[in-house]
A = this chain, B = another copy of it.
């Protein structure tokens, strides 16, 4: 039963790690979900993601932008307006999130019976 090496297994989980990292942290998920409902401005996201600080929002948006999940568009008005939107690629996360959500819901039920939260 050792037809596989653990090295291979290790390699095969690297992409999984990548995917997890993209969703990782307290804020990326709510930000992405928020943007799935439409383009938003900085302070609008801040309002819709309760508890996040400007610093965190700024950092997470930059992360997401680096990963090409979020697009940042600056309007040269005064005061400056910045609009964030999910890229098509960002929207492709929806499937992933759905699968996670489906499994997570089963897990909740299993772990807590039928607790309200």
The oligomer's copy count stands at: 2
Taking CB atoms, residues of chain B closer than 8 Å to A33 are: 9, 12-13
Q: Which of A55-63, A75-83, A97-105 contacts B (4 or more CB under 8 A)?
A: A97-105
Instruction: Give a binary string over A80-117; 1 marks a CB under 8 Å from any B CB, 0 the rest.
Output: 00000000010011011101111111111011000001
Residues of B within 8 A of A50 (CB): 6, 10
Taking residues whose C-beta sits less than 8 angstroms from the other chain, chain A's interface range is 35 or more
Q: Which of A18, A33, A50 has the most CB of B within 10 A?
A: A18
| Chain B residues, CB < 8 A from A99 | 95-96, 99
Chain A 1-40 per-residue mask, 1 if CB under 8 angstroms from chain B, else 0: 1001010011011111111101110000110011001100
A48 CB-CB contact with B under 8 Å: yes
Which positions in A face B, CB cutoff 8 Å? 1, 4, 6, 9-10, 12-20, 22-24, 29-30, 33-34, 37-38, 48-50, 67-68, 89, 92-93, 95-97, 99-108, 110-111, 117
